[in-house]
Structure 1
Amino acid sequence: MQIVRRIGVPPVERGSVGGQACPDIFELEDGSFAVIGTDRTDLLGDRLPADAACADHEKIVVITRETLLRARSDILALKG
């Protein structure tokens, strides 16, 4: 599995000076997306809506609002 490209801007453009532990979004070669964020499964797992679930192999990952908003134009440009 390979990363094809970043979705949005690099963390440094969102104010990260050290590049340490910064949320990010990447498109993968199979068309999936990988997200770097803070694991909040323990906090949010019991608060999911009744029609949502988190399997044992899944995690609830939180990214900053700015990360997603700065990726918006790339997301809208995606085809398929």
Structure 2
Amino acid sequence: MRDDVSAFRITRRLGDPPSLRGSATGETCPDLFELSNGDFAIIGTEATADLDPHLPPDAARADYERIVVIDRDTLIRAKRDIPDA
């Protein structure tokens, strides 16, 4: 079931800000955030139409879910901030 995400707030960024990852403008780049309920929000490139047909047989998404792509560097830099539990 989908939570009402409007009830949550961004509490922190995971990894480096775009300006430290080489963004020319420092404003629009993939980003990861932790929410007040412990979930994560991702800014990335919407790729549902391209990747949905290639999901493995044991993967599925709800109509309200989207497949979002972020670059490897963004996720690797966020790794240190992702909790183990």
Q: TM-score scaled by structure 1?
A: 0.92
Q: What secondary structure, in the 3-state scheme, does the structure 1 residue paired with 2:34 have?
A: strand
The answer for the alignment partner of 1:62 in structure 2 is 69
- Counterpart residue number, 2:59: 52
Mark the runs of 5 or more structure 2 residues left unpaired by the alignment.
1-7
Q: How many residues align?
A: 78
1:11 aligns with 2:2: no
1:32 aligns with 2:34: no
5+ long unaligned stretches in structure 1: none
Structure 2: how far apart are the matches of 1:23 and 1:55?
Answer: 23
When the two chains are superposed, the root-mean-square deviation of aligned CA atoms in Å is 1.1
Which aligned runs of 4 or more in structure 1 are off by greater than 3 angstroms? none
